[in-house]
């Protein structure tokens, strides 16, 4: 083989071995402890020889080599004791921090103390003694210089390994990042960013809430204060991302000014996937997963605490029937109830595809629970009779309803047949077959209704309340307790404004808002369902439970923030005018109502007018007969007779109010 080919192959082999070594090293979570101990010991050994060589001629070192070798072996043993005592090997070299360097210094100081004692014994021994003939007599100055030098070499080695590792794995598109938080959550985020390969986020500093202190640092990076000019920091450091510690999540959500600062600067915001778990066990978590923030995450609302254990104790081992099980609320009710292992579940919805999804979910996630999914309408009285007579539920959660305001404004007869008649069918069967508790899910649109949908739900409230009163007054045989829950919009529900905005953003806009001043209350679906379960299981019957929805949100502001979060620059907001039956703001109670406290600070009981069952039933029977004729005007007129506070807005039915006036 020609010489140049041999040299070429030799070079290729060397590069392959080097590449394999780097891949092996960087592909591991950490080197074994023993390898770090050996590495540090050899560093001390050869570092000490190097320092001796700097001060003494090579010939002198060679002449004293046996004594030096024995001494350095003893010093190496002292170093190992120091390493073990201060755990210098416990850290990962490529993630070395200031505390790791301190451990190295402490270990070398301890080893220096042992070496000084041993060397004093050697120097004090007789010239012909065993110690004098086996070990080299150092001066204390030489020991001090040698141990200082070896400690410095160990620290520099760690720093160099860290720098090489970070520079090798930083991606070309790595973004400069700030972390909001200075405790366990922030450290976990930093470690997670450093462990990700290639490195996508370079941590440039941390943000705390205390007054600025320019000497404060965390993991080698500066700690900024929310009281500083963070906008200047973003510009100077070219910050592209903000990671919010799970321990700072609630503070960040409430700090609108801080949110706007980063959103307006075009900074991407990331939050933890498991905020609640981190908040409860901040010291037990080691890793953290982040996701880009959504507009839902930034809506101001207080955390809702619900005693789900008590709820679970009531539902465990019981038969539960849920109508509207495929809807936004109904499906979440299914998931939350299934956790507590009811004896059986009967799930009813007329939407085939989402109902099929619920069926698969129950089969995969809760295979031990007997759950029957039925595709049918609650308006079919004979079918519902068959289900109730066979299943005999203990609890009924009634979430089935038509809910889209514009659709029901165009189809009032269908609204009555589904919402009102369907509710009557389920409620009457609940009494007939001895259901313990019937929980109806209503809406804030039932208060001072301005549209068909809201009025239909108010009529449902009237009927179930009157039914409960009739049972309590002894006018009707039964044991069923009827409870109503009333709340506003839930985030992410079918047809809500936020999913609509997401679709419009994906299409390039514009985002459509009906009116610049329109406001709405919002609540997370899981939170709403937890409150429904607690209100439903704790209610004694006849109550209308009103949920505290927090602060209302201006929809136009919501649209603007979604545009900013998306990073879009050419998306406009288009005002389309109020829809039929729509009002600028929703209420939870009408002006003639008041509330009293309940068992939960987020739940209050509405004090409303009581209706007699005979009157309510007669009115509803008449209403349903009119609706069956599909005479929209006559249907709505009857609805206004039943609910006098129903005044149409932006609707063709306003003419009925004018005639009455």
Cα-based distances in Å from 618 to 39, 64, 242, 612? 90, 115, 61, 10
Q: Tell me if 312 sits within 8 A of 336, measured CB to CB.
A: no
Q: Tell me if 188 sits within 8 A of 285, measured CB to CB.
A: yes
Angle, in degrees to the nearest 10, between helices 140-169 and 98-124: 160
Q: Rounded distance, CA 388 to CA 482, Å? A: 17
Q: What ranges make up the beta strands (E) of 404-536?
A: 437-443, 481-487, 489-491, 511-513, 519-520, 522-524
Cα-based distances in Å from 15 to 8, 10, 11, 19, 22? 11, 9, 6, 6, 11
Q: Rounded distance, CA 569 to CA 563, Å? A: 8
Catalytic pick among 445, 457, 469, 602:
445
Catalytic residue list contains 211? no
Q: Rounded distance, CA 611 to CA 618, Å? A: 12
Which of 570, 403, 400, 412 shows the shortest CA–CA distance to 495?
403
Q: Tell me if 98 sits within 8 A of 220, measured CB to CB.
A: yes
Sign of CA dihedral 568, 573, 579, 582: positive
Burial class (CB in 10 A: 0-12, 13-18, 19+), 607: middle
Q: Rounded distance, CA 107 to CA 560, Å? A: 57
Q: Regarding beta strands 268-272 and 290-292, do their DSSP bridges make them parallel or antiparallel, or are they unpaired?
A: antiparallel
Q: How far is CA 296 from the centre of its chain?
A: 11
Which residue numbers are catalytic? 445
């Amino acid at each position: 083989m020609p010489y140049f080919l041999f040299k070429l192959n030799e070079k290729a082999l060397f590069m392959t071995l080097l590449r394999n070594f780097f891949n092996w090293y960087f592909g591991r979570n950490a080197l074994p402890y023993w390898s770090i101990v050996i590495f540090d010991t050899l560093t001390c050994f050869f570092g000490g020889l190097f320092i001796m060589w700097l001060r003494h001629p090579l010939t002198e070192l060679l002449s004293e080599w046996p004594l030096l070798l024995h001494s350095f072996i003893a010093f190496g043993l002292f170093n190992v004791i120091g390493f073990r005592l201060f755990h210098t090997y416990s850290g990962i070299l490529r993630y070395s921090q200031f505390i790791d360097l301190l451990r190295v210094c402490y270990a070398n100081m301890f080893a220096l103390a042992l070496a000084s004692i041993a060397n004093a014994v050697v120097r004090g021994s007789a010239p012909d003694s065993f110690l004098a003939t086996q070990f080299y007599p150092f001066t204390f100055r030489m020991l001090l210089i040698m141990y200082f030098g070896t400690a410095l070499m160990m620290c520099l080695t760690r720093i160099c390994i860290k720098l090489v590792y970070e520079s090798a794995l930083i991606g070309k598109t790595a973004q400069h990042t700030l972390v909001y938080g200075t405790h366990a959550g922030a450290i976990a985020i930093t470690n997670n960013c450093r462990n990700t390969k290639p490195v996508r986020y370079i941590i440039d500093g941390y943000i705390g809430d205390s007054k600025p202190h320019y000497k404060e640092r965390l993991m080698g990076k500066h700690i900024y204060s929310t009281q500083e000019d963070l906008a200047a920091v973003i510009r100077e450091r070219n910050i592209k991302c903000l990671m919010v510690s799970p321990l700072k999540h609630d503070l960040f959500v409430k700090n609108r000014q801080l949110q706007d600062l980063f959103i307006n600067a075009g900074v991407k915001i990331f939050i933890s996937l498991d905020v609640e778990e981190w908040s409860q066990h901040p010291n037990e978590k080691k890793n953290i997963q982040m996701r880009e923030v959504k507009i839902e995450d930034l809506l101001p609302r207080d955390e809702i605490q619900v005693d789900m254990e008590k709820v679970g104790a009531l539902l465990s081992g019981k038969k539960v029937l849920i109508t509207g099980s495929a809807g936004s609320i109904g499906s979440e009710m299914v998931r939350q109830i299934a956790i507590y292992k009811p004896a059986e579940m009967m799930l009813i919805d007329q939407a085939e595809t989402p109902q099929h999804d619920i069926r698969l979910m129950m089969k995969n996630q809760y295979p031990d629970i007997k759950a029957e999914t039925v595709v049918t309408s609650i308006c079919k009285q004979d079918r519902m009779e068959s289900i109730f007579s066979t299943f005999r539920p203990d609890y009924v959660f009634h979430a089935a309803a038509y809910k889209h305001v514009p659709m029901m404004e165009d189809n009032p007869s269908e609204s009555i047949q589904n919402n009102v008649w369907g509710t009557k069918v389920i409620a009457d069967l609940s009494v007939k077959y001895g259901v313990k508790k019937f929980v109806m899910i209503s809406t804030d649109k039932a208060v001072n209704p301005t549209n068909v949908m809201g009025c239909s739900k108010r009529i449902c409230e009237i009927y179930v309340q009157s039914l409960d009163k009739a049972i309590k007054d002894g006018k009707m045989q039964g044991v069923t307790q009827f409870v109503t829950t009333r709340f506003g919009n839930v985030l992410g529900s079918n047809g809500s404004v936020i999913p609509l905005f997401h679709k419009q953003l994906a299409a390039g806009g514009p985002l459509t808002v009906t009116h610049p001043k329109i406001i709405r209350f919002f609540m997370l679906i899981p939170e709403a369902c937890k409150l429904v379960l607690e209100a439903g299981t704790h209610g004694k019957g006849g109550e209308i439970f009103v949920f505290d929805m927090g602060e209302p949100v201006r929809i136009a502001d919501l649209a603007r923030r979604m545009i900013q979060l998306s990073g879009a620059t050419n998306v406009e907001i288009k005002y389309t005018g109020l829809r039929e039956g729509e009002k600028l703001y929703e209420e939870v109670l009408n002006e003639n109502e008041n509330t009293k406290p309940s068992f939960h600070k987020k739940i209050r009981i509405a004090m409303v007018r009581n209706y007699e069952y005979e009157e309510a039933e007669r009115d509803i029977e008449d209403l349903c007969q009119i609706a069956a004729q599909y005479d929209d005007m006559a249907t709505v007129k009857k609805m206004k007779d039943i609910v006098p506070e129903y005044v149409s807005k932006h609707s063709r039915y306003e003419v009925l109010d004018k005639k009455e006036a």
